[in-house]
Structure 1
């Protein structure tokens, strides 16, 4: 009786322990850990740089918000130029030489697209001089804060400066040091469902307006669809078809209401899980004043800049290498079997040999006992 109770208690403890291990594997089969070695910065593209001026450019040949506001107050008829100004510059490249999963192709191209840099030196980065004529500042348009919004992002993502940016003031020299953050994923976890692993592979999720799936592109497309459904139009920056109506000032309230509950909506309905391979850039900035006026006075060739705000922006990688993160299988079949067998051995003394011994006594031994002695238990002693 004593050994019977000991066996039952050990068996119950073993079953509970195995169940806990199974629940842990079922709940989080994927683990994110650091790679064993650093990744050179020339294996990834230099970040795409999106610059948006806070100063909405004024001028006779451009859209002038202050002039439009004054005309509305005086009830002066508005011209077509007052209502819409469009002068976009497009430069098309086919992004066939790089992908998040495979990196750059070895086609021998000296200047692949997207562009990359060979090292973390400042002179290997991007150096910009931004000029803003003082008479182009339009304080009535937005706020007293003038300068530029800047966002560094992966070439696969559409920038949304209303959500994330760092500011570059006028007449300042700003230096931005970049630290990449990259996540890769082992192909071993592709057998799990996207919900379990928490991400989509490149060939598992497709979007209507974007050739490349990313979580950011998915959320923008979802917001576009909801805005079109609720307001009958889309915001000017949203992807759309040629016959889709662009919202005007009468739809501002509707668009703001859609945007206010978009976070909860995307979490429930949009299914915008992260991509299994992701690339982001963390930025550390520093800035200092620029004495442009004194420099202009000392150089007669720069006299035409006397009525201009000049801003300097330098962007470069902080180090030659960075540590990537990788999604791996937390419990593979071998790991789970080892845990399962270890717990059985600990609580019950069970092993493969004892299992084969049980099979022997329940099959081979019974068969030969019946054949030789006519009884399954063998001869009576």
Structure 2
């Protein structure tokens, strides 16, 4: 037998001896029967097979727990505490008239003129804008946004009566004019531009940011809420209480005699309830308001919160973004929301295809061009391509906010009630000055109100954190074959510590023998 073979045999016997000793003394269930020579062979084989099967099953279950931890790191639950409606703003409300232009303003526009071309775009008419590609605005004020302002109804003409919290107020104190995808609309309880936008510009999309508003603007966001110290009169206004009397009631005048064109198939209004820091999208999400009817919208708020511990989870796995994450800052908006992110994606999309940004989208770059008549042909093509998902790559990164507030009307509420000819003028003082025919043809009442003083928030939390994962995995291993921290200590002892101590003892013994031999020789 060669030296190498003797060395291998010696190591194998050492390994076999230590393995038998480990298996006889280990805390793992079943292994002590495998190397017990006093037992019959079939008993040893039985326990060996059982142990192997149990280990495979335990590993499979542990892997399933790990995969679940990886695939579902966050779970959305219901908060254990109730949130009063006074802790969040009354929803921001945007009201748009379906009449896109006053007949008295545009009836004399002639085909071939610049104004006529802009009117066709405003009315969403099929029109060939190819002849206008070389046209430039005559002045800085000669813009498409300015044209919309000139031909549209003003908010003071559309919203003629306002009652908030049982107090009759001038509508110019509550609503301001605002550019959205439906044109020039009226917005209530929207955050002031100073707090929501990163920079000011001539076309900030907030046409009358401070005109007529007597309340003091304050900052608000879903994470920190309202400031601690608030003035006597401020906006965004809080919710007051429940019922129509504690909500917002507005009377709308459709001016049907001055109707020219509609963005839908009929006359009336569109309305949208949303977060005070969100970019509104009326064209696809607006709710209809019929003339000659009283419409009720019971407000149902939804609030989403997130525990701080999920910040350590990758955003693609937790599927939400914290507004204060530095690497997710938007170009135009100070606060991150999914709607604001998608609006910037749309702005980048049109800027890339048409080298301009439509008037209602965020001006993400200060020197970017706002789309004019020469861009309309490109805009029409880009809008069709955008419907087919051309800009979805950017929007895939626009995850929802970890902290968010949304509003929607209660589907169980009675949506509309037609005015009856006998009592149409009784319920609102404003109606007393008009005939019943005028009321049924032109006016509409809309009520926005809460139906409950409290609501429960949704909370994003870790579905399986490190503690829960260790508990589940440890429970499986312990149940199957008695795996524990003590076993890990045993394994560490037999593999490392014991071998180390034996090596040290042999080294000390060899050194002592060497010293004794030297002393004897001397």
TM-score range, shorter chain: 0.7 to 0.9
- Note the C-alpha offset of 1:98: 2.1
Residue 216 (structure 1) shift = 0.7
The aligned residue for residue 197 of structure 1 is: 318
| Aligned equivalent of 2:475 | 342
Deviations 1:276-328 (A, max 9, x none): 1111112035211124687569x996148964611111101121111111110
Q: Contact 1:38–1:322 at 8 Å: present in 2 too?
A: yes
- 1:104 aligned partner: 226
Q: Residues 232-262 of structure 1, C-alpha deviation per residue, up to 9 Å, x if partnerless?
A: 2222211223541314343343232232134
The question of whether the paired residues in 1 share the 8 Å contact of 2:254 and 2:267 is answered with no
**Structure 1 residue 90 and structure 2 residue 216: aligned?**
no
Conserved? CA contact 2:299–2:450, under 8 Å: yes
Q: Give, in whole Å, the separation in 2 of the partners of 1:77 and 1:106.
A: 52
Offset, 1:194: 0.8
- Aligned partner of 2:383 in structure 1 is 256
On the 8 A contact 2:256/2:267 being kept in 1, the answer is no
Where does 1:224-243 land on structure 2 (aligned, <5 Å)?
A: 224-240=347-363, 241-243=366-368
Match for residue 371 of structure 2 among 231, 235, 246: 246
CA distance, structure 1, for counterparts of residue 354 and residue 114 of structure 2: 27
Query: SS of 2:400's equivalent?
Result: coil
Aligned to 1:45, what secondary structure does the other structure show?
Answer: coil
TM-score, structure 2 normalization: 0.63
- Contact kept in structure 2, 1:296 and 1:306, CA below 8 Å: no
1:21 maps to 2:65: yes
CA change 1:5–1:96 in 2 (3 A) is farther
**Kept after mapping to 1: 8 A contact 2:297/2:449:** yes
Tell me which of 271, 290, 294 is aligned to 2:419. 290
Instruction: Tell me how far 1:185 sits from its aligned partner.
Output: 0.6
Partner Cα distance (1:276, 1:20) in 2: 27
Match of 2:306 among 173, 182, 185: 185
Specify the structure having the higher radius of gyration (Cα).
2
Please say if residues 219 and 270 of structure 1, whose CA atoms lie closer than 8 Å, have aligned partners that are also in contact.
no
Cα gap change, 1:123 to 1:336, in 2 (>3 Å): same
Deviates more, 1:105-114 or 1:342-351: 105-114
* Paired position in structure 1 for 2:99: 55
Equivalent-residue separation in structure 1 for 2:355 and 2:58 (angstroms): 61
Which residue of structure 2 aligns with residue 121 of structure 1?
Answer: 243
How far is the alpha carbon of 1:333 from its aligned partner?
Answer: 1.1
Q: 1:1-381 counterparts in 2 under 5 A?
A: 1-60=45-104, 62=105, 64=106, 66-68=107-109, 71-72=110-111, 84-86=147-149, 89-92=207-210, 96-138=218-260, 140-204=261-325, 205-240=328-363, 241-248=366-373, 249-262=376-389, 265-267=391-393, 271-284=397-410, 285=413, 286-291=415-420, 302-303=433-434, 307=438, 309-362=442-495
Query: Structure 1: how far apart are the matches of 2:116 and 2:50?
Result: 93
Cα 1:94–1:19 shift into 2, 3 Å: farther
> How many angstroms does 1:24 deviate by?
0.8
| Unaligned ranges ≥5, structure 2 | 1-44, 120-143, 151-176, 178-206, 509-522
Helix, strand or coil: the match of 1:38?
Answer: strand
Q: TM-score, normalised by structure 1?
A: 0.85
Deviations 1:325-353 (A, max 9, x none): 11100111111111111111111111223
Check whether the contact 1:183–1:324 (CA below 8 A) recurs between aligned residues: yes
Distance 1:301 1:179 in 2: 33
1:112 shift after superposition: 3.9
- Larger deviation: 350-359 or 85-94? 85-94
Q: Distance in 2 between matches of 1:94 and 1:357?
A: 70
Is the contact made by 2:354 and 2:379 (CA closer than 8 Å) also made in structure 1?
Answer: no
How far 1:182 sits from its partner (Å)?
1.2
